[in-house]
Structure 1
């Protein structure tokens, strides 16, 4: 049994996150009819007076297309995820016939400890847009039902005014741990024209948690050239991304001291970016 303060915190987080989801859904009466929960009882969940039973938590989570534990995330992190439209995008993606066929083939095995991978990461790679700059993006893996999903955000400052953001890209996708490797497939939702693919391997010799790998991106047009390059995931903490982490994304000089030594050594002293000539 959880200590009282932890129970109180979970109850407060659940009610705040549920209110946010309901505000965006439109009609609470419609939600109650769909999930089969009495409106009076549902209002107690919204007000934080009662925590639903485990069965009702699963029903509510399924209705919004989330895993139950995501509903207990810190409200600030949860709002950042919702504000990015990550839920809607992933829900629509999972409904696509081609994706359903793919997921049936590569569904996560029950033998895989998905909790080993979930959490927030700094993602480092040489930029395909800004020459000789290392891109630091905010990356998050979270459990959604029987699958692992991920999302990450890239932010590029202006050349003329580094304090001003020139480009923002948001990616959403699926994560598949297979044989001590982590495969990622995602798509960009701002320009809506690029797919990226990645494969990572954990670094066991380091006390810190790193995953080293290779990522490739292919856009629908040649306005953004296809690329392939090395990439590093540096684990930071459990949970979802906060607004502060999303705002810390930027491009860095190659020898910036904020980049972990292990990441800089793996990326190398010169960009290894592969692009069409």
Structure 2
């Protein structure tokens, strides 16, 4: 059984960029993992389940003999066992360990062409789900005259690469827009404020993509979910409800850039 496991584990690791990356994503140290690869011992039942889950199969499959394991691999979807740097699933899988310090709630602040020069504050929640990190963004905005009432939820995936946090989110609106955000943590230990850049699609005055600076402010765990939601909305550039540091950084930055088509 130990020999079958080590052989199968080596075959699976051969499909990845490096063994070091596999160790980081699962959470094993290299010396410990090398023992499994070399047949020097079997992992505990708990660690065996972690390895099986990481490779998207059950424990029994990892213990099959060579012929049986080859048969199983052939029946799997190629996208499940031939990950590459260009696979989106590969990018977002196993990110929980690197992003754990960033999990929790934030208020996001940015400006969009939809609301002129006003600042929109959203609620962002990063949580772990089966080794991946999922993002939930809640956005609500009401025009002063009451003619526009916007409540949108975004669901996405999060990755951490090169000291950058990447989000790809899909809105549950009728148009189902996709947005992309890159956050730049300045200090790994100080994450009260995180700056970045977000790109989405403005709904007014016309449907056009735009890019704009964004700032996340960490929310204390003592705050209730209701309070977090109540703080979202639209605020003027001079509103004292916005942290003065955030307000200054957003206002001093160039206005959200709208990408206007030059064709036609």
TM-score (norm 2): 0.58
Distance 2:243 2:178 in 1: 27
How far is 1:165 from its partner?
A: 6.8
Question: What secondary structure is seen at the aligned counterpart in 2 of 1:237?
Answer: coil
Q: Is the 8 A contact 1:155 1:165 kept in 2?
A: no
Q: Is the 8 A contact 2:95 2:132 kept in 1?
A: no
Q: Give the match for residue 254 of structure 1.
A: 237
Question: What secondary structure is seen at the aligned counterpart in 2 of 1:262?
Answer: helix
Distance 1:172 1:148 in 2: 11
Question: What secondary structure is seen at the aligned counterpart in 2 of 1:137?
Answer: strand
Distance 1:240 1:147 in 2: 25
Alignment of 1:101-250 (within 5 A): 101-108=87-94, 112-161=97-146, 166-204=149-187, 209-218=192-201, 223-238=206-221, 242-250=225-233
How far is 1:170 from its partner?
A: 1.1
Stretches of structure 2 that go unaligned for 5 or more consecutive residues are 1-45, 54-85
Q: Give the match for residue 23 of structure 1.
A: none
Distance 1:257 1:132 in 2: 15
Cα distance, 1:107–1:200 mapped onto 2, change above 3 Å: same
Distance 1:185 1:240 in 2: 27
> Bigger relative contact order, structure 1 or 2, given CA contacts below 8 A and separation 6+?
1
Alignment of 1:261-276 (within 5 A): 261-269=244-252, 272-276=255-259
How far is 1:208 from its partner?
A: 6.0
Q: Is the 8 A contact 2:92 2:158 kept in 1?
A: no
Q: Is the 8 A contact 2:195 2:215 kept in 1?
A: yes
Distance 1:258 1:244 in 2: 14
Cα distance, 1:264–1:241 mapped onto 2, change above 3 Å: same
Say what the alpha-carbon RMSD is for the aligned residues: 3.4
List, as ranges, runs of 4+ consecutive aligned residues in structure 1 with deviation greater than 4 Å: 205-208, 238-241
Q: Is the 8 A contact 2:202 2:210 kept in 1?
A: no
Stretches of structure 1 that go unaligned for 5 or more consecutive residues are 1-54, 63-99
Distance 2:223 2:164 in 1: 22
Q: Is the 8 A contact 1:142 1:240 kept in 2?
A: no
Q: Is the 8 A contact 1:173 1:187 kept in 2?
A: yes
Larger of the two Rg values belongs to structure:
2
Distance 1:105 1:158 in 2: 38
TM-score (norm 1): 0.56
Query: What is the number of residues matched between the two proteins?
Result: 178
